[in-house]
Amino acid sequence: SSGINAEWPLRPGKNIAKYCTQTGDHYNISKCGGARNASMMKACDDKCGYLFAQAGLGDTTTGVILLIASLILLCVCLTTLVKTLQSLLLGRMAQTLKKHINSDLPYPVSWLTGYLFILVGTGMTILVQSSSVFTSALTPLVGLGVISLDRMYPLTLGSNIGTTCTAVLAALAATGDKRSVTIQVAISHLLFNIFGILVFYPVPFMRTIPINFAKMLGNTTADYRWFAILYLIVVFLLLPMLFIALSFSLPLLYVVITLIIAAVLFITILNILQDKIPEKLPEFLRTWDFLPKPMRSLEPYDSVLSKLICCRKSVDDADVIPLSVVTGAKTNPV
C-alpha cells in the first residue's frame, strides 16, 4: 500500500511479503511505521510463518514460484477431471446421455433447442464459476461421441455468457467512485459475448463457420499433435503482440490487415472453385501443387517437430476415436 511504500526503510515495496502476515504478533513499527492497518497484509519481522517465510526470497521470486505451482496444479486437476469422466461415462450411461442430450425439442419448437442449451451452458457456468472447468468437462464427451459437436456449440456459447457473471458480481461489490468504471468494464465484457452470439448463432449459415473451423482444427491436431501447441502460441501470443506493435503505426496496421483479408479471400475463393468448377481454372490452379510444400502442407514441419517427446504419437493414439468419426467430417488436403 501507499503507507507501507512511503515509510519502508530500505527498498520500498521490494520485500513486503517477507515482513507481512495476517496476525500482528510480530508487528515491527520500525519497518512499517503507521501502515499497520493500511492493507490486508500486516507487517511483521522475520518470524512470520507463511510459505517461503524462511527462504529469503523476494516478492517477485515468490510470486513466480506460486504462479508456476498454481498453473501445474490447475493442469493436473483438469487432466484428472477429464480422465475421470472418460472412465465413468461408458456403456449404458454414455448411450443414455447421448440419446437425451443430442435430441431436439418436439416440433414445432425444435428450433428453440439450441437456445435452450445456451441457457443451460450459462447456468452451469454460473454455478461452477468457471467456463474452463465447464468446457474441459464436456470436451472429452465430444471426443467419445456422447455429445455431438453441433450440440457442444450452443453449450460453449452459453458458457461464454456465464463466465461474465463473476466480473459483474465483482463490479457490483466495488465501492466509491470506482464502481462506475468497474461496472462499465464488466458490462462491456458481457455485451461483447452477447453480440458475438448474435452474429454467429441466430443465422443458420453463420453457425457452420465456427463448427467447420473446429472440425478442421480437430482433424489437423489428430494428425499432428504439435499443431495444438503451435495454434495456442500463434493465436493467443504472437498475433496479439504483432497487432499491438503495429498499432503504433496505423498506416502499416491497415496495410497488414488488408493483405491478410486479401489472402484469406483468395484462398477461400480458390478452394471453392477447385471443388465446384475445376475445369474452368487454369491447369496449374486446379491444385495447390504450384506452391512449395512447406506452404501447402504441414508434413515438412512434422518431420522435425515429431521428434520431440511432447509431440510424438503414443501407442494409445490408435485406440482413440478420431474427431472425424464423431462429427462425420472428412479430412480435406490443404
CB atoms within 10 A of CB 95: 12
Q: How far apart are the C-alpha atoms of 39 and 20, rounded to whole Å?
A: 10
pLDDT at 40 over 50: no
**More confident site: 46 or 61:** 61
More confident residue, 56 or 125: 125
Backbone angles phi, psi at 330, to 5 degrees: -110, 140
Per-residue model confidence (pLDDT) at position 34: 47
pLDDT exceeds cutoff 80 at 175: no
42 three-state secondary structure: strand
Give per-residue pLDDT as tens, 207-259: 999 999 988 998 998 888 889 889 999 999 999 999 899 888 888 989 999 99
Residue 319 has pLDDT above 80, yes or no: no
Per-residue pLDDT band for 143 (boundaries 50, 70, 90) equals confident
Using 50, 70 and 90 to split pLDDT, how confident is the model at 324?
A: very low
Distance of alpha carbon 211 from alpha carbon 110, whole angstroms: 20
Question: Mean pLDDT, to the nearest integer, of 123-151?
Answer: 84
The per-residue pLDDT of the chain, averaged, comes to 77
CA distances from 185 to 168, 240, 305 (A): 9, 20, 41
pLDDT category of residue 311 using cuts at 50, 70 and 90: low
* Residue 307 vs residues 76, 81, 229, 299, 318: alpha-carbon distances, Å: 25, 29, 15, 13, 18
- Condensed to tens digits (0 to 9), the pLDDT of residues 82-110 reads 788 777 777 777 777 777 788 888 888 88
